[in-house]
A and B are shown apart, each in its own frame.
Chain A
Amino acid sequence: MASNKGKTAGSGSRGVGKEKDVRRKEAARPPGWAYGLRQLYDSVVEEPLPDSFKDLLSKLDAKQ
């Protein structure tokens, strides 16, 4: 089935350029900060692991 993108009722005009309809814009393309959010997370994931964690992980084995 060919799904119709402009399914939602409302302003019928579909300008290619600057849309006033913010809601539609959000759906079409993630806002600038969305990438930043991901980066914020990834930047922590990529940090080298502090020694305290290595110590803790190695102690876990002794605990079982």
Chain B
Amino acid sequence: MATQKRTAAELADFKRELTQVVPHLRAFARGLCGRPDMADDLVQETLLKAWAAQERFEPGTSMRAWTFVILRNAYLTDMRRNRFRGEFDENVAERILTAPAGQEEPIHLSDMRRALLTLPPERREALLLVGAGGFSYEEAANICGCAVGTIKSRVGRARAALNTMLDEGDIPKRAIDDVNAHRALLEELDLVAAGNGLSEPTR
């Protein structure tokens, strides 16, 4: 790898941009692993990795997308080590999300979280990226290192599942009991082990 020395101004830019995306990294991580404490650990790990890899960041490209890739890879690696089990944090106070004007029912934050955590990880992350993070399908595909069509189908399936759970009030009690989620996770980890799941934080 050709390591080019960055100018002081470039370093300062990198640092500033990295600082700016921290809240987004926290939100993405929280959505992925469900536990605020673990999510923050993951973000700290991500920041250190991003800092160490800063020569690979291309100035002018999206810092948020670049760091999301790093966070995602760190998450998958930690998952393999069994650090996160997608547990629902029972201690989070029950809050109610407000409904937008003209819409019927506000949703309980805890329901939303729990429903999200029952999704297989790859669908959950696709939905988080597109539905919450506001990434385009193309950007999400780059972050996940997969085809655009794959992202579309994951988001579609995630939406269908959430429709059933939240609009019809059919949410499993415990996210961890979900057998499908585990199977999908193991499949994904096989892909990662084969070198296909992790995407390079480049371009």
Output the nearest chain B residue to A22 by Cβ-Cβ distance: B163
Interface residues of B (CB under 8 A from A): 11, 15, 18-19, 22-24, 26-28, 30-31, 40, 43-44, 47-48, 51, 97-100, 103-107, 109, 112-113, 115-116, 127-128, 131-133, 159, 162-163, 166-167
Interface size class, chain A: 20 to 34
- The answer on a CB contact under 8 Å between A49 and B23 is yes
Count of chain A to chain B residue pairs whose CB atoms are closer than 8 Å in the complex: 98
Output the nearest chain A residue to B50 by Cβ-Cβ distance: A60
Chain A positions 34 through 64: 1 when the CB is less than 8 Å from some CB of chain B, otherwise 0? 1111111111111101101100110011011
- The answer on a CB contact under 8 Å between A45 and B127 is no
Report the minimum CB–CB distance from A39 to chain B (whole Å): 5
CB-defined contacts of B15 to chain A, threshold 8 Å: 57, 60-61
- The answer on a CB contact under 8 Å between B26 and A44 is yes
CB-defined contacts of A26 to chain B, threshold 8 Å: 159, 163
